[in-house]
Structure 1
């Protein structure tokens, strides 16, 4: 086992002082999950949050800030490696692979500005991957962190959703088992700052680092990020609101697979990343995320839930179109290929059918 490379301490930058239009999001306090009454209350709050907002905060999830900051430090140190070393770990992005390093400059933003976003994905232990020495030396810590997220956050949330749908408590956790191969991954994501002239050009266009989109899995977990950027589109009004960085929290959103499994009862949440406020444009934006997806081979068909049957949500996009529902791995490869293939044209693939019955879309 390699000796862990020493880490520098990681300090979060100050929050913006600008008056932004923040989203009003509900909070799921997992400390309430300890009693039957608390679980019933959380299940009701959670399903309402998923259906009306699509985003919510999670607090008291049993992972210390020191553990979180250590992951930020690993990500920060990874991005400090020479580009030539990072480029040794680029997967076949053109054909839907995504575990490993994705360099900046593969997308064109509005006004023709190249993106400056770097991504590094670490899958579950069952998925083979080569790691740079820095990551290899911290792999036990990273694996422990991934498993804690699964146990302390994902499992309680999936159990609460199943309860709200009047399904057996393990109906969703059985589709998301830690010890089985799946497309879950931990991500360190860096939005490198742009030169001033880029920001001027971006503001002449749509002002975005990442266009409005949905995530392809079940739930996405985002650790507190003080550099403002994430914006959420309201399900009902279509208005965009900023997601406030709440202390000691996770920001969680619903994704495509959960929408398919619930026949659209829970909608995949549309979100985007805006350029930071002016008082935060002199710093990079480092993100720490976990993308939860069903185990490989799970077919994305609507669950037989009494709630879904009563409410009339008995068929998802594929089923309504008379198409066979894909497995999560088939859908993952198809959507990742659509998202990641290099392009020199802004929104070149908008509206392209990526699997029969489902089109890839960007959202304004």
Structure 2
């Protein structure tokens, strides 16, 4: 079995937010500042919806390879639809990740101002009900993310609704992720050491172990083992940049399983919460001090920042 020690990331209840917004924000922010990660229970996403999504995710990835590849868009940066096994590579890595995934984005009405920068969704003909299930799940993740961003704003001394202007029509992505069984001599790992691009990532699932964070204090890899049903949340590079590293984006990875589990698939569902493409990422004034000068004096739009990073990880050539 994997013998990596566990990270002592606290499990917080999002149900406490309504009773004590400032108290929840302080605990959530403290976990982010220490680990770059938090574990959140009682997140409000219905278990029935989660169970339905798991079943349809497994069914999707069981489709024949040639059928799945019909939903791959060459040159599309993996923005929507299917991305085949061994496509994405962690920044600076020498071997590609051992995974395949499917992306679902926000549905925009015809003629929307952001339609040229946010690709339309691609829907498979099967499994039946896939579109309805994952549009419902996207909305549920979106709502949970809004609540967590409100806590982050309070922790930073901002108005609780500060992030609303950033994420209205945000370019968020729901990723369905499959790590297939792997041979004992597989080159590379399921997901190489990396940081996420977005504001925050919300993660459900993974019935197989493997997620680890790199502890900045000790340089040690630590396993993340949330209680059943809880959500793992981590800081992305956009939030790190916005907060001048007050909230750090922590390196993490998914390691290969021990030999006795290598014949098993691993599934997870992630929600990469992004701002709108035209949102300008500019260091928050309250995070700039004499001791911590502005690391990023040149602002950048979320769209341009995302493009730079997609090139680095091989999804855009």
Q: TM-score, normalised by structure 2?
A: 0.88
What is aligned with 1:277?
258
Question: Which runs of no fewer than 5 residues in structure 1 stay unpaired?
Answer: 1-16, 344-364
The answer on 1:228 being equivalent to 2:209 is yes
What value does the CA root-mean-square deviation take over the aligned residues?
2.5
**Whose Rg is larger?**
1
Distance 1:188 1:81 in 2: 14
* Displacement of 1:51: 0.9
Asked whether the 8 Å contact 2:200–2:272 carries over to 1, the reply is: yes
Helix, strand or coil at the partner of 2:280: coil
Q: Which residue of 2 aligns with 1:143?
A: 135
| Matched residue, 2:48 | 66
| Worse-matched range after superposition: 107-116 or 285-294 | 107-116
| Map of 2:154 onto structure 1 | 163
Q: How far 1:216 moved relative to its partner?
A: 0.3
Shift of 1:264: 1.4
CA contact (8 A) 2:89 2:314 kept: no
| In the alignment, structure 1 residue 331 sits paired with structure 2 residue 305 | yes
Does the 8 A contact of 1:106 with 1:342 survive in 2?
Answer: no
Match of 1:173 in 2: 164
Deviation at 1:141, TM superposition (A): 2.4
1:134 aligned partner: 126
Q: Give the SS at the match of 1:302.
A: coil
Within-5 A mapping of 1:353-364: none
CA shift digits 1:69-122 (9 cap, x unpaired): 2111111111111211211221244x6352221101336899987653101111
Residues 41 and 281 of structure 1, relative CA distance in 2, 3 Å threshold: same
Cα–Cα, structure 1 residues 195 and 296, in superposed 2: closer, same or farther, change >3 Å? same
Shift in Å, 1:224: 2.6
Mark the CA change 1:250 to 1:51 in structure 2 (over 3 Å): closer, same or farther: same
Aligned to 1:357: none
Gap runs ≥5 in structure 2 = 109-117
Distance in 2 (CA, whole Å) between partners of 1:79 and 1:314 is 47
More off after superposition, 126-135 vs 216-225: 126-135
| Structure 1 pair 61–338 and aligned structure 2 pair: CA distance change class (3 A) | same
The 8 Å contact of residues 262 and 313 in structure 1, kept in 2 or not, is answered as no
Give the SS at the match of 1:290. Answer: strand
User: TM-score, normalized by length of structure 1?
Assistant: 0.77
The answer to whether the 8 Å contact 2:80/2:122 transfers is no
User: Residues 238-287 of structure 1, C-alpha deviation per residue, up to 9 Å, x if partnerless?
Assistant: 21011114211001110001011111111111101110133322201111
For the residue of structure 2 that corresponds to 1:295, the secondary structure is coil
Question: What displacement does 1:312 show?
Answer: 4.9
- 2:294 counterpart of 1:315: yes
Q: State the shift of 1:226 in Å.
A: 2.3
- Any idea what the Cα deviations from partners look like across 1:327-364, whole Å, max 9, x if unmatched? 11111122112212499xxxxxxxxxxxxxxxxxxxxx
